[in-house]
Protein backbone atom coordinates (compact mmCIF):
# COMPACT_ATOMS: atom_id res chain seq x y z
CA UNK A 1 0.00 0.00 0.00
CA UNK A 2 1.26 3.48 -0.89
CA UNK A 3 0.25 6.82 0.59
CA UNK A 4 0.94 10.31 -0.74
CA UNK A 5 -0.67 12.79 1.65
CA UNK A 6 0.28 16.30 2.75
CA UNK A 7 -1.53 18.14 5.55
CA UNK A 8 -0.46 21.61 6.64
CA UNK A 9 -1.76 24.61 8.56
CA UNK A 10 -0.13 27.89 7.68
CA UNK A 11 -0.47 31.36 6.22
CA UNK A 12 -0.37 32.49 2.59
CA UNK A 13 2.82 34.36 1.78
CA UNK A 14 1.28 36.14 -1.23
CA UNK A 15 -2.06 36.59 -2.94
CA UNK A 16 -3.07 33.55 -5.04
CA UNK A 17 -2.33 33.68 -8.76
CA UNK A 18 -5.12 32.35 -10.97
CA UNK A 19 -5.10 31.46 -14.66
CA UNK A 20 -6.86 29.28 -17.22
CA UNK A 21 -5.29 26.37 -19.07
CA UNK A 22 -5.67 26.20 -22.87
CA UNK A 23 -8.28 23.47 -22.23
CA UNK A 24 -10.35 25.90 -20.11
CA UNK A 25 -9.59 24.60 -16.60
CA UNK A 26 -9.01 27.05 -13.75
CA UNK A 27 -5.72 26.69 -11.89
CA UNK A 28 -4.63 28.75 -8.88
CA UNK A 29 -1.23 28.66 -7.22
CA UNK A 30 0.04 30.16 -3.99
CA UNK A 31 2.65 29.65 -1.30
CA UNK A 32 2.01 28.84 2.37
CA UNK A 33 4.49 29.28 5.21
CA UNK A 34 4.62 26.98 8.23
CA UNK A 35 6.77 27.40 11.34
CA UNK A 36 8.67 24.80 13.34
CA UNK A 37 9.67 25.91 16.85
CA UNK A 38 12.00 24.03 19.21
CA UNK A 39 14.49 24.58 22.02
CA UNK A 40 18.14 23.91 21.19
CA UNK A 41 20.64 22.18 23.50
CA UNK A 42 21.20 25.47 25.36
CA UNK A 43 17.47 25.93 25.96
CA UNK A 44 17.24 28.76 23.43
CA UNK A 45 14.06 28.96 21.39
CA UNK A 46 14.71 28.29 17.69
CA UNK A 47 12.35 28.73 14.76
CA UNK A 48 12.48 27.56 11.16
CA UNK A 49 10.06 28.57 8.44
CA UNK A 50 9.17 26.23 5.58
CA UNK A 51 7.52 27.44 2.38
CA UNK A 52 5.11 25.15 0.52
CA UNK A 53 3.97 25.61 -3.08
CA UNK A 54 0.26 24.82 -3.50
CA UNK A 55 -1.75 24.26 -6.70
CA UNK A 56 -5.57 24.05 -6.86
CA UNK A 57 -7.62 23.04 -9.90
CA UNK A 58 -11.12 23.72 -11.26
CA UNK A 59 -13.81 24.93 -8.79
CA UNK A 60 -11.46 24.70 -5.80
CA UNK A 61 -9.02 26.94 -7.72
CA UNK A 62 -11.78 29.51 -8.26
CA UNK A 63 -12.68 29.47 -4.55
CA UNK A 64 -9.03 29.91 -3.51
CA UNK A 65 -8.57 32.81 -5.94
CA UNK A 66 -11.74 34.51 -4.75
CA UNK A 67 -11.48 34.13 -0.96
CA UNK A 68 -7.82 33.73 -0.02
CA UNK A 69 -5.31 36.54 0.28
CA UNK A 70 -1.83 37.14 1.65
CA UNK A 71 -1.84 36.35 5.37
CA UNK A 72 -4.92 34.08 5.28
CA UNK A 73 -4.63 31.16 7.69
CA UNK A 74 -5.61 27.87 6.06
CA UNK A 75 -5.74 24.13 6.69
CA UNK A 76 -4.73 22.29 3.51
CA UNK A 77 -4.82 18.65 2.46
CA UNK A 78 -3.52 17.24 -0.75
CA UNK A 79 -0.86 15.13 -2.38
CA UNK A 80 2.76 15.91 -3.20
CA UNK A 81 3.76 16.10 -6.83
CA UNK A 82 7.13 16.99 -8.34
CA UNK A 83 7.28 18.31 -11.86
CA UNK A 84 10.32 19.00 -13.96
CA UNK A 85 11.10 21.16 -16.97
CA UNK A 86 14.07 22.45 -18.85
CA UNK A 87 14.84 26.13 -18.27
CA UNK A 88 15.80 28.57 -21.00
CA UNK A 89 19.41 28.05 -19.93
CA UNK A 90 19.11 24.33 -20.72
CA UNK A 91 19.24 23.28 -17.04
CA UNK A 92 16.64 20.79 -15.79
CA UNK A 93 14.59 22.28 -12.95
CA UNK A 94 12.31 20.66 -10.36
CA UNK A 95 9.43 21.94 -8.25
CA UNK A 96 7.54 20.00 -5.58
CA UNK A 97 3.97 21.15 -5.01
CA UNK A 98 0.97 20.22 -2.92
CA UNK A 99 -1.91 19.43 -5.28
CA UNK A 100 -4.83 20.69 -3.22
CA UNK A 101 -7.76 18.40 -2.44
CA UNK A 102 -9.31 20.01 0.66
CA UNK A 103 -9.06 23.54 2.07
CA UNK A 104 -10.43 25.09 5.24
CA UNK A 105 -10.29 28.86 5.74
CA UNK A 106 -9.40 29.17 9.42
CA UNK A 107 -9.73 32.93 9.84
CA UNK A 108 -12.65 33.70 7.55
CA UNK A 109 -14.45 36.37 9.60
CA UNK A 110 -18.20 36.51 9.12
CA UNK A 111 -18.54 33.11 7.44
CA UNK A 112 -21.08 31.00 9.36
CA UNK A 113 -20.59 33.10 12.47
CA UNK A 114 -16.80 32.97 12.24
CA UNK A 115 -16.65 29.18 11.98
CA UNK A 116 -14.16 27.58 9.59
CA UNK A 117 -15.41 26.69 6.13
CA UNK A 118 -14.23 23.61 4.27
CA UNK A 119 -13.92 23.20 0.52
CA UNK A 120 -13.09 19.95 -1.31
CA UNK A 121 -12.18 19.14 -4.87
CA UNK A 122 -14.05 16.50 -6.84
CA UNK A 123 -13.33 13.06 -5.51
CA UNK A 124 -13.27 10.22 -8.04
CA UNK A 125 -13.87 7.77 -5.19
CA UNK A 126 -17.03 9.43 -3.88
CA UNK A 127 -20.36 10.45 -5.31
CA UNK A 128 -19.88 14.02 -4.11
CA UNK A 129 -18.50 17.07 -5.90
CA UNK A 130 -17.14 20.27 -4.36
CA UNK A 131 -18.69 19.88 -0.92
CA UNK A 132 -18.68 22.64 1.67
CA UNK A 133 -19.02 21.72 5.34
CA UNK A 134 -19.74 24.66 7.64
CA UNK A 135 -19.04 23.93 11.28
CA UNK A 136 -20.61 25.39 14.40
CA UNK A 137 -17.40 24.77 16.31
CA UNK A 138 -14.16 22.86 15.94
CA UNK A 139 -15.40 19.92 18.01
CA UNK A 140 -18.10 19.11 15.46
CA UNK A 141 -15.85 19.47 12.43
CA UNK A 142 -14.75 16.38 10.57
CA UNK A 143 -11.78 17.07 8.31
CA UNK A 144 -12.73 14.17 6.06
CA UNK A 145 -15.70 14.48 3.70
CA UNK A 146 -17.71 11.36 4.32
CA UNK A 147 -20.04 9.75 1.82
CA UNK A 148 -22.25 8.47 4.68
CA UNK A 149 -23.24 12.00 5.75
CA UNK A 150 -26.96 12.64 5.29
CA UNK A 151 -27.73 14.63 2.14
CA UNK A 152 -29.39 17.44 4.14
CA UNK A 153 -26.01 18.20 5.83
CA UNK A 154 -24.28 18.72 2.49
CA UNK A 155 -24.01 22.08 0.80
CA UNK A 156 -22.84 22.29 -2.78
CA UNK A 157 -20.36 25.06 -3.65
CA UNK A 158 -22.71 26.16 -6.42
CA UNK A 159 -25.40 26.87 -3.77
CA UNK A 160 -23.25 29.27 -1.72
CA UNK A 161 -24.65 32.79 -2.10
CA UNK A 162 -21.27 34.55 -1.85
Q: Is residue 18 part of a domain?
A: yes
Which CATH number covers residue 55? 2.40.50.140
Q: Which domain holds residue 46?
A: 6-114
What does the pLDDT look like over 7-35, one tens digit per residue? 999 999 999 999 999 999 999 999 999 99
Read off the pLDDT of residues 96-152 as tens digits, 9 standing for 90 and up. 999 999 999 998 554 444 555 555 665 333 333 333 433 333 333 333 333 444 444
pLDDT tens-digit map of 95-104: 999 999 999 9
- Do β-strands 131-134 and 117-120 pair in parallel, antiparallel, or remain unpaired? antiparallel
Establish if 125 belongs to a structural domain.
no
Is 62 inside any structural domain? yes
List all residues 6 or more positions away from 27 whose beta carbon is below 8 Å from its beta carbon: 18, 19, 20, 21, 55, 56, 57, 61
Residue 143 placed within a domain: no
Our count of domains for the chain comes to 1
Amino acid sequence: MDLNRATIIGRLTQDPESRMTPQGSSVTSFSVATNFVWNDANGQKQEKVEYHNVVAWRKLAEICAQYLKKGSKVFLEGRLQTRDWEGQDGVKRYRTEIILENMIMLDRAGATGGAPMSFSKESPMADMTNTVIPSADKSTYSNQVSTDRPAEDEIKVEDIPF
